[in-house]
Amino acid sequence: MATGTRTGTTVTAADVAARIREAISAGDLVPNQRLVEADLAEAYGASRGHVRTALGELTVEGLVERIQNRGARVRSVPLEEALEIVEVRAALEALCAARAAERITDEQAEELRAIGRAMEAAVRDRDQSAYARGNTDLHGMLIRVSGQRTAAATIDRLRAQAVRFQYRLSARPGRSQQSLPEHLAIIEAVCARDPEGAARAMREHLASVSEAIVESTRD
């Protein structure tokens, strides 16, 4: 796929929205950065109209902020709101963990334990990117096993908004050592088919994430 100019395939508004979402998640677009419609249209090879509707979508999703006649910017989520988001995620991911514990099959349990072993190895080898991957896999798998699509969509949307804080966090030295036992506790409870315990472990984990976020902003 060509990076912009001459694409025979038409670039739809949904495509543009997806590209911008990715760019924000990857940190290529930082909070408060202006999003000039003409520039984006040029960059992605789309018409300005499509860029416009894409920005509308992202505004509803909470990733972008628009001011009348002044254009769009990447929304900057204040610390206070990020903490709220983590609280909401805690409630929802606890729900998913509990449902996952009720529904998990033996094969899925084995897969989950494998993720846990990979995370232990990553901490032992001090491989941060492997640990981050394990983290994503774990949360993703619990959500998938839970079968809660509404919760999943909500969690995704919220996580995208708070992506800036996720970065700061995983860059922090020693963070993985602290969170590893929390993750393993979640895995254990889910594999033991203990919904209440799984929910509790997940809530404790996200409470710790919340604390870590507060500390990471004291710089």
Residues that bind its own copies (CB under 8 A): 53, 56-57, 60-61, 81, 84-85, 87-88, 90-92, 94-95, 148-151, 154, 158
In the list 16, 17, 29, 72, the residue contacting DNA (rule: CB under 7 A) is 72
The rounded radius of gyration (Å) of the Cα atoms in the chain is 19
Residue type, 102: E
Q: Which of 180, 87, 78 is closest to 125 using CA atoms?
A: 180
CA dist 130 and 153 (Å) reads 25
Shorter beta-carbon distance to its own copies: residue 84 or 127: 84
**Binds 178: which of its own copies, DNA, none (CB < 5-8 Å by kind):** none
CA dist 51 and 32 (Å) reads 18
Q: What Cα–Cα distance (Å) separates residue 78 from each residue in 139, 200, 209?
A: 24, 27, 16
Q: Which of 190, 192, 204 is closest to 100 using CA atoms?
A: 190
4 binds DNA (CB under 7 A): no
Written as one string, the DSSP assignment of 41-87 is HHHHT--HHHHHHHHHHHHHHTSEEEETTTEEEE----HHHHHHHHH
CB of 90 to its own copies, least distance (A): 8
CB of 39 to DNA, least distance (A): 7
Shorter beta-carbon distance to its own copies: residue 94 or 190: 94
6 binds DNA (CB under 7 A): no
In the list 7, 18, 19, 52, the residue contacting DNA (rule: CB under 7 A) is 52
**Binds 4: which of DNA, its own copies, none (CB < 5-8 Å by kind):** none
Shorter beta-carbon distance to DNA: residue 69 or 150: 69
Binding stretches for DNA (CB under 7 A): 2-3, 10, 12-13, 34-38, 47-50, 52, 66, 68-72
